[in-house]
Amino acid sequence: MLENAIKDLLYKIADDQLILGHRNSEWTGFGPMLEEDIAFSSMAQDKLGHSLAFYTLLHQMGEGDPDTVAFMRNADQFHNSQLVELPIGEYDFSLIRHFLYDNAEILRFESLSQSTNEEIAKIATKLKGEVRYHVLHANTLVKQLGSATQESISRLQQSLEYALPFALGIFEPSKHEQELIDAGIYSGEAALQNQWLERISAVLEKTHLKLPEIANLQPVYGGRYGQHTEHLQPLLDEMAEVFKIDPTAEW
Amino acid sequence: MYGGGNVFEATKFDDLEQEDPVKLAEFEARIARGEKIEPSDWMPQLYRKQLIRMIEQHAHSEIIGALPEGTWITRAPGFRRKLAQMAKVQDEVGHAQLLYSAAETLGKTREQMLTDLINGKSKYSNVFNYPAFTWADSNIISWLIDAGAIVNQMANAKGSYGPYCRALDRICAEEAFHLKYGHDAVVHMATGSPIQRKMIQEALNRWWPPIMTFFGPSDKMSMHTETLMRWKVKMASNDACRQQFLDMYVPKIWELGLTVPDPKLRKNEEGVWEYTEPDWDEFKRVINGDGPCNAERLAVRRTAEERGAWVRRALLAPKATYVRPLA
Ligand SMILES: [Fe+2]
Ligand SMILES: [Fe+2]
Ligand SMILES: [Fe+2]
């Protein structure tokens, strides 16, 4: 059933964006510089807006309304990659995650903008401009901090090594992979991952950072099938704390 | 948002006697004509000092003010509120950025200002030393504290220092959105389910006393205050601001069926608002560090500064460390 395959794809995109947007918003008031508070907040708002666009499309396809879907599900009903649910940690981790994630996201949106599904193509085309800014922000800072001081280089290197296996989880294949590729919905996870590796390598080459040998890494899979770290449920509980006081109320 | 313009600590006033009387007269004439003073223009030391203090306090109020509402970003109910809460608090951080830049034109760096904030040397708006217990508290802040800030900032935007006025013009435009957002959120609560109505009334009860102190105690009409008013550093008396605020917002609060927790509050025959005198002893105690959240607010700021120090060091590092690729 192509429709189920498409829904699965849309859920993973929307859930990624919602959870990462939520995480990025946690930097408001805590950034290393006011400029970064503001940048992370802008990206958080964009990501939230993107998730809303995809939840809205899902709603048109018969799924629940966006607020209910976002605020009322439990962790095992979420299809986001585990990368995005990890706590913000120190700024180096948040920056590296943002770098790894957005470089993947831009490729996904580019691929989706060519989709045979017109609705999806329309949304992806509209939103990819914003993702391009996110990529620009990440790449600029990774280049700067990845070549600045010993301290900044070693922090970024450590975070890179920690985050990479999780980042590979972005590309965890779904059980509908071939069906989506055959129908021309998007190019599929394996193709995206290859392009992504080229992109991030090209940036990292301009720094003092070293990309670990990907073949030696064990990707952290499971997120796309509802398996999550212990960090997701508390995030969702927090997100829904007020909403659940009265889910039928207008807030 | 802001409300700390009242905290004009006495500066050594004899400073003025050291100033060149001709230049001083010219300076005062320019201000009287409604001209703006720009960074490279001559200005008395006292003017510079008071402005730095005022703009710095305002900037601090914006970033510290981002904290009580910031804690509700991750808990805002539903997409619409979550997006708006994020944008609103982000704006406040943006205001801080604008204001630090304006203060920097007077010769104090952002780094120095932030250090003084963390060390408790500079002040910020006292209301942010109170907690936002619930989502409803955050709504009351967005509406009524921002409303107070607008009264204050609109007045200050007509002041004499160019960079501060220009920053305030931009800030006021954004504040207008905050006010709309805050009002809309409060309306939804006040006209919502019984739980929502209870939440918003309780939040108003908690926030009313700090709101009444927002503009500071009645000004003592000293020579100092007079000079600052003549120089268009201080633009309106604290009481005038408070009256204007009450006049604009008490009717709107009543309209929503909410009760203002002050039995003495009423507009008298002369059109002047009467109210229970706020507890100025508490105000003094809190502003001097002994409020429910002072320590927490500064600790958060200190942690942010410390945890982010490596980033700032790295971005300031000379490109020379860029010797050759390690690999
Ligand atoms: Fe505001
Ligand atoms: Fe503000
Ligand atoms: Fe904004």
CB B133 within 8 A of CB B9: no
Amino acid at A166: F
- Give the Cα separation of A29 and B68 in Å (integer): 10
- Which ipTM did the prediction report? 0.96
Min distance A158 CA to chain B CA atoms (Å): 15
Check if the beta carbon of residue A226 is closer than 8 Å to that of residue A79: yes
- Give me the CATH number covering residue A217: 1.20.1260.10
Residue A95 to residue A114: CA distance in whole angstroms: 29
Model pLDDT, residue A49: 98
How large is the average pLDDT for residues B201-224? 92
Q: Do B193 and A246 touch (CB under 8 A)?
A: yes
Q: Provide the residue range defining the domain that includes A88.
A: 2-245
Question: Both ends of chain B: CA-CA distance in Å?
Answer: 50
Residue A250 lies in a domain: no
pLDDT at B40: 97
Q: Is the pLDDT of residue A1 over 90?
A: no
pLDDT interval class at B12 (50, 70, 90): low
Count up the domains in chain A and report the number: 1
| Mean per-residue pLDDT, A148-176 | 98
State the first-to-last Cα distance of chain A, in angstroms, to the nearest integer. 37
For chain A, percent of residues with pLDDT exceeding 90:
99
Instruction: Give per-residue pLDDT as tens, A26-82.
Output: 999 999 999 999 999 999 999 999 999 999 999 999 999 999 999 999 999 999 999
pLDDT tens digits, A68-127: 999 999 999 999 999 999 999 999 999 999 999 999 999 999 999 999 999 999 999 999
Q: Is residue A251 part of a domain?
A: no
Please name each of the domains of chain B with its CATH number. Answer: 13-299 (1.20.1260.10)
Percentage, residues of chain B above pLDDT 70: 93
Structural domain includes residue A56: yes
A25 in reach of chain B (CB within 8 A): yes
∠ CA A117-A122-A125 to the nearest 5 degrees? 120
For residue B325, the model assigns a pLDDT of: 41
User: Quick one: average pLDDT of A139-166?
Assistant: 98
pLDDT-derived band at B222 (thresholds 50, 70, 90) equals confident
Q: Which residues of A touch B195 (CB under 8 A)?
A: 245-246, 249
* Per-residue pLDDT at B3 exceeds 90: no
Query: Which residues, at least 6 apart from A86, have a Cβ–Cβ distance to it below 8 Å?
Result: A23, A93, A97, A163, A166, A229, A231
Residue type, B160: S
CB contact under 8 A, A45 and B135: no
> Could B74 and A155 be called an inter-chain contact, meaning their C-beta atoms sit closer than 8 Å?
no
pTM for the model stands at 0.94
Contacts with B74 from chain A: Cβ below 8 Å: 22, 25-26, 235, 238-239
Residue A96: inside a domain? yes
Q: Sorting pLDDT into bands at 50, 70 and 90, what band is B317?
A: confident
In a domain, A83, yes or no: yes
Cα B151 to ligand 2 centroid, rounded to whole Å: 12
Contact B93, A28 (CB under 8 A): yes
Residue B318: pLDDT band (50, 70, 90) is: confident
Instruction: Provide φ and ψ at B273, rounded to 5°.
Output: -80, 130
Residue A213 has pLDDT above 80, yes or no: yes
Top pLDDT among B321 and A198 is at A198
**SS3 (DSSP) at B161:** strand
Query: Is residue A72 exposed (0-12), middle (13-18) or buried (19+ Cβ within 10 Å)?
Result: middle
Chain A, residues 61-100, CB within 8 A of chain B, namely: 66-67, 70-71, 90-91
pLDDT at A80: 98
**Average pLDDT score over residue span B96-111:** 97
